[in-house]
Each structure stands twice: as structure tokens, then as C-alpha cells.
Amino acid sequence: MEKYCEITKDNYKSYVFEKMPKSSHWKNMFWAFLIGGTICVIGQAFIELYKLWFSIEDASVLASGTMVLIAAILTGLGVYDNIGRFAGAGSTIPITGFSNAVVSPALEFRSEGYIYGVGAKMFLVAGPVIVNGVTISVIIAILTLIFGG
């Protein structure tokens, strides 16, 4: 590497950064778009299906529940992590990703029992999302109250 005529402790991090293989952003975005979009299309199809019998509000809730259930089953069958390996955010961001984030530690820590294992570790991954989501909602609600809306 001609740029680094001498690799030292100081320039080591930038030397490594230049040398390391990078994730292909275009490829990742393509798969995230395709898989994430497909998940949303399936969700929409369930809404349309449930609308045949229920109101739009109820149909939406039922469709979300169905998607969570499907993702939980796929996690249990060991399929969801394979999808996530190339879909990235495409399978993390939809509600199915949340289901995967709760079910996977629950399965993993089943070996430590229902209290200290499943109970304590179930929200290992999803916990920060819930805590930060609730905190930010409260902050936004206060701001809305103060500045009107």
C-alpha cells in the first residue's frame, strides 16, 4: 500500500478502513427494497382479505397480528434469520422484524428456564426499541402540548 509507507499505531485504523471489504450499499438496498416491499404487499393483501368481513381498523390490526404470527413461526423454523441475512433492514423494519427480535431470544434462552431464561431475556433485542420508542413518544407529546397542534 503505497499511501501507507509506514503503518503505525496512529494511522492503523485508517489503514484498516481502506483495506477492509465494504458492504455493497446498492446490493443491500436492492434486497431490502425487494424483501421489505414484498412483506408489505403480503400485509396489504391480508388487510384487503380481512376487509371482506371487518372494518378497515379491525382489518389492519388483524393483518398486523397475522404478520407477527407468520414471522414468529418462520423464526421458530429457522427461516427468518436466513431471510434477514441478505434482506437486512428490509426484514428488520416491518412488524415481522419485531416479532423475530422477540421470538429469537425467547427460543435461545429457553434453556435457562421460563423465568430467568425466556422471561428475563425475551426483550433483549426488542427492549431498547420499546424503551426508546416510548420515551420519544412522550417527549413528542409534551412538545406538541407546549407548542400546540
Partner 1 sequence: MDYYKKRTLTFPNSYVIDGYTVAGPKENDGRYKGFFDLALEDDMFGQNTFERAERKMFEHAIDGVIGKANLTNADVDALVGGDLLNQIISMSFSARKQHAGFLGLYNACATFAESLIVGSCLLNNGLENVVCIAGSHFSTAERQYRYPLELGVLRSPVTQWTATGVGATVLSNQCETSTPKVTRATIGRVVDYGIMDANNMGAAMAPSACDTLVTFFKDTETSPDDYDAIFTGDLGKLGSDILLDLTKQEGYDISAKQHDCGASLYWDEQQTYQGGSGAACSALVFNGVLLGRLRKGEYKRILLAGTGALMSPTTSFQGDSIPAITHLVEVCF
Residue 110 · residue 141 · CB < 8 Å: no
Give the position of cell 509506514: 6
Q: What whole-number distance in Å separates Cα of residue 31 and Cα of residue 25?
A: 10
Binding string to partner 1 for residues 122 to 141, with x set by CB under 8 A, is what? Answer: --xx----------------
Q: Considering only residues 66 through 125, tell me which ones interact with partner 1, judged by CB under 8 A.
A: 75-76, 78, 80-89, 91-92, 97, 100-101, 103-105, 107-109, 111, 124-125
- The answer to whether 25 contacts partner 1 (rule: CB under 8 A) is no
> Quick one: DSSP state of residue 22?
P
Residue 119 · residue 135 · CB < 8 Å: no
> Quick one: DSSP state of residue 122?
T
Interacting residues toward partner 1 by CB under 8 A: 1, 4, 6-7, 9, 12-13, 15-16, 19-23, 28, 75-76, 78, 80-89, 91-92, 97, 100-101, 103-105, 107-109, 111, 124-125
